[in-house]
Structure formats: C-alpha cells, structure tokens
Amino acid sequence: MSDTYEGVSPARIRATYVIGPDGSALTPANLPTGDERWTPFRKAAVVAAVNGGLLSIDVACVRYGLTFEELVAWQRAYMRHGIQGLRATRTRDHDDNRPALSV
C-alpha cells in the first residue's frame, strides 16, 4: 500500500475546512483575526482549526501571537471541559481534580 494519495504525501495535504465549535464550517477566511478580544468561542475556533489540520501549530502561534504552551493549554482545556474550559476567569470551577482554594 502506498503512503501517498494521488501522488501527494499525507503530510502535504491540508484541510480546506473543519467543523467549528458551533457545528459550522471553519475556513481560513472565517477564522478569528488576531486583533479581537479572546473569547472562549474564538479560542475554541483556533483549537478546532489546529486539531483539524486547517492550521499548523506553528502557523497558529505566529498568526495569533501565542506561545506553544498557551495553545497546548487551550487544547487541553477544550478537550477536558469544552468551551467553558476556555474561559479566562474561574477556571478552577472546571477542574474536578483540584481542591478549591481556602482563604
């Protein structure tokens, strides 16, 4: 069996669209811009684009000014808790394995 599809290596095939967090098609044209406020939905759209192969991790980090660690943290939060896990505040509410802070 060949490692190519019609003469193109699988590593060279990029997705033309992926399904976004709301179920609609995400394309390069309708991805979030880097100059907007980061909402949980926008973060989820970037995670979906990376996970679906629409953007590479490197391209996403450069395009959005993210560190690799920040993007991986978004991926992990989305996988564990969905869009709610991408909220910037009260993230401890979503982590069942950590005890709440007592003051």
For the chain, which domains are there? 14-91 (1.10.10.10)
Task: Give the 3-state secondary structure of residue 5.
Answer: strand
Q: Give the residue-averaged pLDDT of 44-51.
A: 96
Q: What is the mean pLDDT of the chain?
A: 83
CA–CA separation, 75 vs 82, rounded Å?
9
* pLDDT of the residue at 5: 45
Tracing tokens 């990029």 back to the chain, one arrives at 14
Q: What is the DSSP letter of 19?
A: E
Express each pLDDT in 54-90 by its tens digit: 999 999 999 999 999 999 999 999 999 999 999 987 5
Pairing of strands 25-26, 18-19: antiparallel
What is the per-residue pLDDT for 36? Answer: 87
Stated pTM of the model = 0.74
For residue 91, CA distances in Å to 13, 30, 63 come to: 36, 27, 25
